[in-house]
Amino acid sequence: MKRAELEQMSVDHLWKLRVAISEILAGKIAQEKKLIEGRLVQLRGNSHTDSETREPERRPYPRVFPKFRNPDDSSQTWAGRGKQPRWLTAQLKSGRRDEEFRI
């Protein structure tokens, strides 16, 4: 349809045309979605199985032993990974060295 034809139509007619177009478009989108999902299943090699619903297993990591200990509270330790604990940061700011806290 040309723009001039659309401008001459009444609001009711245009609205009905819009509804019809929306329905057709929704149907075509649903067909495309089914087609794409079918291709995805083929790429995976099988349909939905129980293994897809479960979370993947985590790789077993070795236990990391602590390397630093708080002299004020021996239960506070740090393995040297991740962010420094507050007790170590405070001790380092006061002028002490990290070697003093090694286990």
Using DSSP, state whether 79 is helix, strand or coil.
coil
Average pLDDT over residues 75-101: 91
What pLDDT is stored for residue 84 in this prediction? 92
Q: Which amino acid is located at 48 in the chain?
A: H
What pLDDT is stored for residue 20 in this prediction? 94
Cα–Cα distances in Å, from 36 out to 41, 42, 71?
Answer: 9, 10, 61
Contact 35, 27 (CB under 8 A): no
Q: Is the pTM of this model over 0.85?
A: no
Domain boundaries, given as residue ranges, for the chain: 3-47, 68-101
Q: Which amino acid is located at 31 in the chain?
A: Q
DSSP state of 69: E
